[in-house]
């Protein structure tokens, strides 16, 4: 059994006084106008905090990606209020939302998005190069992130030399290397077979616990939802229940 990796983030000592990490109130998102308008979200309320793996379950077109884009600061609501880390997204400048995504939110997508001519370690280190992190610190954080996903021995491998599951784990390490408080994952196992998908979700489950993160994961796979602390059902832009 692999020895647990050292956490990337220092563990919080007191979370009771902190506001919810994610707080949505009556959030709507409409694309277009008039008869052709698409109502992607219809009055969504959501509050997330603590070390939890939260799954949003719903069919294609239910509004999952729109909801995740708003939580991650990639999009803004048409109506209602969306707060992340205590800040109203609509009141922030574009630059402030970029910094929020850099410092607070880590993104994992269905497509791995790895640069093919870079090694696993170099791919993981890209966000740190963008933020001009010190070279020694960058090397250490990349090493720890790869160790956290069980790929320290594959640091020199390029994406074509890795399996699909390994590539997605590199993408997870890349999302973790900036030490985010929130992970947002949009169908992260959509390109993987069922067995590999379950392994990746179990990895996410372990990371949530070891890193004390909040992870919000969109999936239509009912089996993967069994690993979550909370399951949100989203249909036609509405949250219908919480398990």
pLDDT, one tens digit per residue, over 200-228 is 888 889 989 988 999 999 987 777 788 89
Strand ranges of the sheet holding 22-31, from the earlier edge strand across to the other edge? 38-48, 22-31, 79-84, 87-88
What tokens appear for 209 in the block?
Answer: 């616990």
Confidence of residue 4 (pLDDT cuts 50, 70, 90): low
Return the residue matching tokens 């979700």. 201
> With 70 as the cut, is the pLDDT of residue 242 above it?
no
Taking a C-beta distance cutoff of 8 angstroms, is the pair 202, 34 a contact?
A: no
Tell me the CATH architecture of domain 50-75+93-242. 3-Layer(aba) Sandwich (3.40)
pTM: 0.85
pLDDT in tens, 68-119: 999 999 999 999 999 999 999 999 999 999 999 989 999 998 888 899 999 9
pLDDT of residue 62: 86
Return the pLDDT at 200: 86
User: Bigger pLDDT: 92 or 190?
Assistant: 92
pLDDT at 1 over 50: no
Q: Which of 199, 168, 198 is nearest to 185 (CA)?
A: 168
pLDDT digits (tens, 9 = 90+) for 123-161: 999 999 888 888 898 899 999 999 989 999 999 999 999
pLDDT of residue 69: 94
- The pLDDT score that the predictor gives to residue 13 is 46
């Amino acid at each position: 059994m692999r020895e647990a990796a050292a956490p990337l983030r220092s563990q919080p000592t007191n979370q009771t006084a902190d506001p919810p990490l994610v707080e949505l109130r009556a959030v709507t998102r409409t694309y277009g106008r008039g008869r052709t308008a698409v109502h992607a979200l219809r009055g969504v309320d959501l509050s997330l905090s603590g070390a939890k793996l939260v799954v949003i379950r719903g069919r294609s077109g239910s509004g999952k990606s729109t909801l995740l884009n708003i939580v991650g600061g990639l999009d803004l609501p048409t109506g209602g209020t969306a707060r992340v880390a205590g800040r109203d997204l609509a009141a922030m400048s574009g630059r402030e939302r970029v910094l929020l995504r850099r410092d607070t939110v880590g993104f994992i997508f269905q497509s791995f998005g790895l640069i093919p001519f870079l090694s696993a370690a170099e791919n993981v280190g890209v966000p740190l190069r963008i933020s001009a992190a010190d070279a020694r610190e960058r090397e250490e954080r990349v090493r720890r992130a790869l160790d956290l996903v069980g790929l320290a021995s594959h640091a020199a491998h390029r994406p074509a030399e890795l399996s699909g599951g390994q590539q997605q784990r590199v993408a997870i390490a890349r999302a973790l290397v900036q030490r985010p408080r929130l992970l947002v994952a949009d169908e992260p196992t959509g390109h993987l077979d069922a067995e590999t998908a379950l392994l990746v979700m179990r990895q996410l489950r372990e990371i949530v616990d070891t890193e004390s993160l909040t992870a919000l994961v969109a999936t239509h796979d009912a089996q993967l939802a069994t690993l979550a602390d909370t399951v949100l059902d989203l249909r036609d832009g509405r949250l219908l229940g919480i398990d």
